[in-house]
Structure formats: C-alpha cells, structure tokens
A and B are shown apart, each in its own frame.
Chain A
Amino acid sequence: MEDERRMEHSKIEVRWMVLVVALLVAVYMRRTGTITTPGTVILALSAVVVGANLAFAAVLRRGAPPWVRYVSTGVDLAVISVLLVFSGGNASPFYNVYFIVLVSNSIRYGMKMAVFVASCFNVAYVGVLLLRPPAADLTAEGVKILTFWGVALYAGYLAARYQRQMRILQSYEETIAGLRNRIEALERGAGGAGSRSGLPGEGAGPSQGAC
C-alpha cells in the first residue's frame, strides 16, 4: 500500500516535469511553425494535466486505491492522443511521449500494466488516425503500433523478471536475518547455561573451562 502510494507520488512528480517540458516545447514549436496547434488547445491540455495531478494528489493523501494507477495512466494516454490530433496526427513530434508513459508504468507495475498501456495506446492511436488520416498508406502506422506492442511486452517481461529477483532477494534477506537471530539466541543460551553450570562462554577455550 505504502509502495503504491510512493510510486503514484513519483508519477505525479514526473507528470509535472513532463508537462513543463512539453509546454515549453509546444510553445517554441508553435512560434517556429513546426506545429500548428492552437494556443487554446495547449492551455486546455495543460489545465487538464494540472487538474488531474491535483486530483490524484488529493486521492493519494487518503490512501492508494488500486484503480488510481489505471485511471492516471489512461488520463496520460488520452491527453497525449489529443495533443497528437492537434499537432499533426501520425507525423506529430509528440508521438514519442507515449513511450515515457509506457516505460515508466511498465517498470513500476509489471506485465499487467504493460498490456494495459499497450491496449489503451492501440485504441487511442486508432482514434488519432481516424481523426487525422495519414497521407501515406497505413502499413507504416500498423508497424508503429506493433513496435509499441513489442516494446510494451519486452518492458513488461523485464519488469516481471526484476520483481521476481527482488522477491527472491527479500526472502534471502529474511532467511539470513532469521538465522542471525537464532545464532544470537543460541549463543546467549550457551553463555547463560555456561555461567550457571560453569561451562565456558564465548571466547573461552575448553582448557580454561576445565581448569
């Protein structure tokens, strides 16, 4: 529970940073004419992200319900998709922002989240292609979606493997701690018994005890 809350808080921090960087880049690209996104859309999307961040922070103050991770990821993907629609569709320079959401969530939550992000991206990107039909044929877009699936599944696999290794490491640490406690208890018992019966304690040799 505490882990989940910490992870969602770190996502909120990353979202603030990405918002500031994306906002600066969008404003700069708009001035240079690289994108033709209306200023009102940029402001509206920024307001949505700010509102979502504040809402998620408020929810996390009371706890970390399991649905928060899926809702926050869905909101991120929706905002990116709207930005794509207004900044060139399939040719938008903001397409790669999808990968930030994918990798950051997959590393944190594993394979299930990777499949969720890839499925949401799949649906959202089809929506983008419907609203802004590409000039070239659709094969390149299909390959882009399949590449995203490949990255998602590989990131999910790596995260699952990492989580398994962490669990094994944790069980080893618990075993070592338990064994240390048992050794200390045995040593204390041996020391106590030794002092009562005249047997040597730790560091005392058998010859000393015999004397």
Chain B
Amino acid sequence: MARRLIGGRTVGWSAACAAVLVAVVVAVTWKAASPLAFLLYPVLVLGVLLLGGLVVLWALKFF
C-alpha cells in the first residue's frame, strides 16, 4: 500500500482547526460589538476553506 503524503493525525488536527474557525465565524457574526471585528473574516473564511479543502481532498485520497 502506497504511503500517503499527509498523515491522519495532521488531517485530524486540520479538521479540528476548521471546526474552531467555523465556530469563531459564527461567534463574530453573532456577537460583534464593532464592525472592526468583521476584518477577521478574510482570515477565517480562507482558513476554513483551506483546512476544509485539505480534509476533503485527503478523504478523497488525493494526497
């Protein structure tokens, strides 16, 4: 069996980080006291996209 480029442990951490980032997005949207909090969105959205993409591609055996 071919060795995978990214281990299951890394993917597990990535999935956990993606879930935390989604929770932060919800929290920022719900509880923002100032519009400045919305400046976190680019980092959060792109972080979720990258980490989520990594997990999905790993599950599809792309790596």
Interface residues of A (CB under 8 A from B): 115, 118-119, 122-123, 125-126, 129-130, 133, 138-139, 141-143, 145-146, 149, 153
Q: What separation, in Å, do the CA atoms of A129 and B38 have in the docked complex?
A: 10
**A146-B25, A146-B41, A153-B49 known; A139 and B30 CB under 8 Å?**
yes
**A126-B39, A129-B35, A130-B36 known; A139 and B45 CB under 8 Å?**
no
Q: Is B7 an interface position by the 8 A CB rule? A: no
Q: What separation, in Å, do the CA atoms of A115 and B25 have in the docked complex?
A: 17
* Dominant secondary structure of chain A at its interface with chain B: helix
Report B42 CB to chain A, min CB distance, Å: 5
**Beta-carbon nearest neighbor of A119 in chain B:** B42
Q: Which of B28, B34, B39 is the one whose CB lies under 8 Å from A123?
A: B39
**Beta-carbon nearest neighbor of B49 in chain A:** A153
Q: Which of A115, A118, A130, A143 is the one whose CB lies under 8 Å from B35?
A: A130
Q: Is B16 an interface position by the 8 A CB rule? A: no
Q: What separation, in Å, do the CA atoms of A119 and B41 have in the docked complex?
A: 9
Cβ proximity bits B41-63 to A, threshold 8 Å, 1 near / 0 not: 11001100100000000000000
Q: Is B32 an interface position by the 8 A CB rule? A: yes
In the complex, are the beta carbons of B35 and A122 less than 8 A apart? no
Report B23 CB to chain A, min CB distance, Å: 14
Other A-B pairs, 9, CB within 8 Å; known A130-B36, A133-B35: A118-B42, A126-B35, A126-B36, A126-B38, A139-B30, A139-B32, A145-B41, A149-B41, A153-B49
**Beta-carbon nearest neighbor of A137 in chain B:** B32
**Beta-carbon nearest neighbor of B29 in chain A:** A142
In the complex, are the beta carbons of B42 and A146 less than 8 A apart? no
Q: What separation, in Å, do the CA atoms of A129 and B33 have in the docked complex?
A: 12
Q: What separation, in Å, do the CA atoms of A129 and B42 have in the docked complex?
A: 17
In the complex, are the beta carbons of A141 and B39 less than 8 A apart? no
Q: Which of A119, A123, A142, A149 is the one whose CB lies under 8 Å from B32?
A: A142
In the complex, are the beta carbons of B42 and A122 less than 8 A apart? yes
Report B57 CB to chain A, min CB distance, Å: 14
In the complex, are the beta carbons of A141 and B30 less than 8 A apart? no
Q: What separation, in Å, do the CA atoms of A156 and B29 have in the docked complex?
A: 24
Task: Name 29 A/B residue pairs within 8 A (Cβ), A-sorted.
Answer: A115-B46, A118-B42, A118-B45, A125-B38, A126-B38, A129-B35, A129-B38, A130-B35, A130-B36, A138-B32, A138-B33, A138-B34, A138-B35, A138-B37, A138-B38, A139-B29, A141-B35, A141-B38, A142-B29, A142-B32, A142-B38, A145-B41, A146-B25, A146-B29, A146-B41, A146-B45, A149-B41, A153-B45, A153-B49
